[in-house]
């Protein structure tokens, strides 16, 4: 019997056409797929969280595939991240189960990119909004791709729930001009450069 009991899901897509300067040839798309699930460990301390983490892999895979679908396939994805907001009857470690489950899922559907999957998490009330940092999927030092997306759901997480999110996007910030490792100079050997 699975420990994953989903109350609701949400899919948010942002299409950015321009900022202060010229617009890109193709608009930037950022998307977040979220699921609100019951926290099986709410209000109690449990030593072994690994069964929940293992059960969450299928949810991570499902959310990752939704993101690929709305962004036009894995070839278009350049940035990624994950996040969790744990309801007030939970603890930070309940959100940390998503590190492996969500990260594994995105890497699998994207063809095993090497860069670490960034993350953010919090223990908070329903309606809390969290900024989710993203970076380039093959080399985390590509400064032009340091960006973020805000996620949250008005009625989640309730005290005994967790909101899990995956975020992907089709590119870096619009009009980057602050130097650093350029996309065309990525070697892609170690996930950093």
pLDDT (tens digit, 9 = 90+) per residue, 92-132? Answer: 999 999 999 999 999 999 999 999 999 999 999 999 999 99
CATH of domain 6-185: 3.30.1330.110
Q: Does pLDDT of 185 surpass 90?
A: no
Pairing of strands 79-86, 119-123: parallel
Contact 59, 67 (CB under 8 A): no
Q: Does pLDDT of 193 surpass 90?
A: no
* Residue ranges of domains in the chain: 6-185
Q: Which residue has the tokens 């996620």?
A: 151
CB atoms within 10 A of CB 99: 16
Contact 139, 192 (CB under 8 A): yes
Query: Global pTM?
Result: 0.96
Query: What is the C-alpha separation between 75 and 92, in angstroms, rounded?
Result: 34
């Amino acid at each position: 019997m699975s420990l994953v009991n989903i109350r609701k899901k949400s899919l948010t897509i942002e299409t950015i056409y321009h900022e202060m300067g010229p617009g890109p040839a193709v608009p930037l798309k950022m998307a977040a797929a979220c699921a609100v699930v019951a926290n099986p460990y709410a209000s109690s301390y449990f030593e072994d969280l690994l069964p929940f983490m293992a059960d969450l892999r299928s949810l991570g895979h499902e959310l990752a595939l939704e993101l690929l679908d709305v962004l036009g396939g894995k070839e278009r994805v350049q940035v990624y991240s994950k996040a969790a907001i744990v309801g007030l009857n939970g603890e930070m470690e309940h959100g940390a189960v998503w590190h492996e489950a969500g990260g594994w899922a995105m890497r699998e559907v994207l063809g095993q990119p090497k860069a670490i999957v960034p993350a953010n998490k919090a223990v908070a009330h329903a309606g809390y909004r969290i900024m989710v940092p993203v970076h380039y999927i093959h080399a985390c030092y590509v400064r032009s791709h340091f960006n973020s997306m805000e996620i949250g759901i008005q009625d989640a997480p309730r005290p005994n729930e967790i909101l899990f999110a995956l975020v992907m996007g089709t590119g870096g910030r619009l009009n980057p001009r602050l130097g650093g490792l350029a996309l065309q100079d990525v070697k892609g050997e170690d996930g950093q450069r």
